[in-house]
Structure 1
């Protein structure tokens, strides 16, 4: 729970047959990828990585996105490396899988106007590609700026425990700091208070996936995933982008302290 990541111990106890594992590296921090990769290799199943929120993060010297058979990232404006609209990328060293992905992103056509599969228009356009090529030059610098802001939050909010629980960074885990997400007591009231002071925050995600109406036919109910459900009531993402000023960061910190002193 402290890392806001999938529980590797619970994964090992799965009694039903597992065909593949999709490991999500959330809020910039890698999932428990080394352990999950080992589990998948032992079981002979595929590991797929969702690195949309953690592009640029790594464990030791190994980047997220390189642990499984394939990984996918997003270049949506809120992601670590972003363009000005919707875009994304799939990474794989598996030749046949790469070929299939290229076909599917071209409407499923295997040659001009000849369609073998149900595909999509998944092509990134030239304008977004050009933007990404320019922004990529500054990507590592922006991660460093985000890290400095996150460290300031941690240093100045650590005394608010147990009202505020801060992100935990395991040894040799390096975040890309796409978000700075705390667990907050009276989360909803804190969010309203901060908004009243002109500070925008985010809740990712208020309604857990298994409780979304679209999945009602699976008969999930409250209590089926207690850790997920508890976190959905506590998580709050604070302002974090590379160009926050010291004054703005201090204002966020002092406002949170003001709320919990009331």
Structure 2
């Protein structure tokens, strides 16, 4: 039996009648750009996260870029972010001309290590971009304790963490802005590309609303030098449908994680179970384990028709596109160890207990764990 890494059809088939209906309605009325469906989704998603304002944009990367611009980050400024994250987090900082300052991550959570942040703060530090990686929140209390009363803005990269919580509060609602991606495989995904910025600050929301629409405050009044970074109305309409189910899907992911935990422990592989600190609500966008002979295990899983992935095989500071920043191998030892050991197992709403059992059986039979 083949076990896919992700199976979006299982999620979509139950929603097909609603999706088909809204597609027909939008096609009939030609409401393709900045329509009422977008406004409804912006309001609904902001409310879901716990913020006053939401502004739809073209992608998670776009959400990070416009947040940086809205907060006045510019060339010469420094932005602190984890070395263990997706390329887009650092690329957004470089897009606005600022310098990404990487710090290492915690060995157990894989998220930014608050103890490393203090050493990275300089007089040029204008913002920090904590990333809620794999669906687990960062430790906000520790981060805010390090920042203290310094004038450092917080841009949350919540692109993998729709519905994740820290001490009962949704991620995305702690910083100046919260940035989300609606890439199809996310916990809340569109059928293409999309993103959202949430905030409690009306001036930030107003700037982003204009910037994403070619700088227009009203039609043909281009009051700022903006770009076309709009979230398409069709995507917003479908996301409106799916938003009603995201908590249920997250519960399914957590149940799948519980079954993985039980099966791994039964197989004597309890050391592979991902860590979830007390007071955190992990939504398991990815189910990530660490193994010494990762590449060999990945091949073994493929031989058994089991999907798996690596998030991420090359630390950002060692990418050729970041070489001019001057970082070198050995600068962030935890991140570099993780890059050689982490492996993402099949995880999606609807994955069955039998499928999870097949994955764990294949891992248990592999001798290199």
Which of 202, 207, 210 aligns to 2:314? It is 207
Q: Report whether the alignment pairs 1:254 with 2:361.
A: yes
For residue 110 of structure 1, report the CA deviation from its aligned partner.
3.2
Q: CA RMSD in A?
A: 1.6
8 Å contact kept, 2:292–2:368: no
Residue 156 of structure 2 aligns to a residue whose secondary structure is strand
Which residue number in structure 1 is paired with residue 345 of structure 2? 238
Which residue number in structure 1 is paired with residue 41 of structure 2? none
**Structure 1 residue ranges without an equivalent (≥5):** none
Q: Report whether the alignment pairs 1:108 with 2:215.
A: yes
* TM-score (norm: length of structure 2): 0.67
Residue 23 of structure 1 aligns to a residue whose secondary structure is coil
Which of 96, 103, 127 aligns to 1:20? It is 127
Q: Report whether the alignment pairs 1:51 with 2:158.
A: yes
Which of 128, 137, 140 aligns to 2:244? It is 137
Residue 27 of structure 1 aligns to a residue whose secondary structure is helix
Q: Report whether the alignment pairs 1:184 with 2:291.
A: yes
Residue 233 of structure 1 aligns to a residue whose secondary structure is helix
Q: Which has the higher contact order (CA 8 A, sep 6+)?
A: 2
Q: Report whether the alignment pairs 1:160 with 2:269.
A: yes
Separation in structure 2 between the aligned mates of residue 78 and residue 98 of structure 1, nearest angstrom: 27
For residue 121 of structure 1, report the CA deviation from its aligned partner.
1.8
Structure 1 or 2: more helix by fraction:
2
Separation in structure 1 between the aligned mates of residue 237 and residue 120 of structure 2, nearest angstrom: 44
Which residue number in structure 2 is paired with residue 96 of structure 1? 203
Q: Give the 5 Å matches for 1:7-86.
A: 7-14=113-120, 16-17=122-123, 18-86=125-193
How many residues in Structure 1 have an aligned counterpart in Structure 2?
260
8 Å contact kept, 1:75–1:87: yes
Separation in structure 1 between the aligned mates of residue 148 and residue 127 of structure 2, nearest angstrom: 11
Residue 143 of structure 1 aligns to a residue whose secondary structure is helix
Separation in structure 2 between the aligned mates of residue 160 and residue 187 of structure 1, nearest angstrom: 15
8 Å contact kept, 1:73–1:88: yes
For residue 49 of structure 1, report the CA deviation from its aligned partner.
0.3
Q: Give the stretch that moved more between structures: 115-124 or 139-148.
A: 115-124
Structure 1 residues 20 and 213: CA distance shift in structure 2, 3 A: same
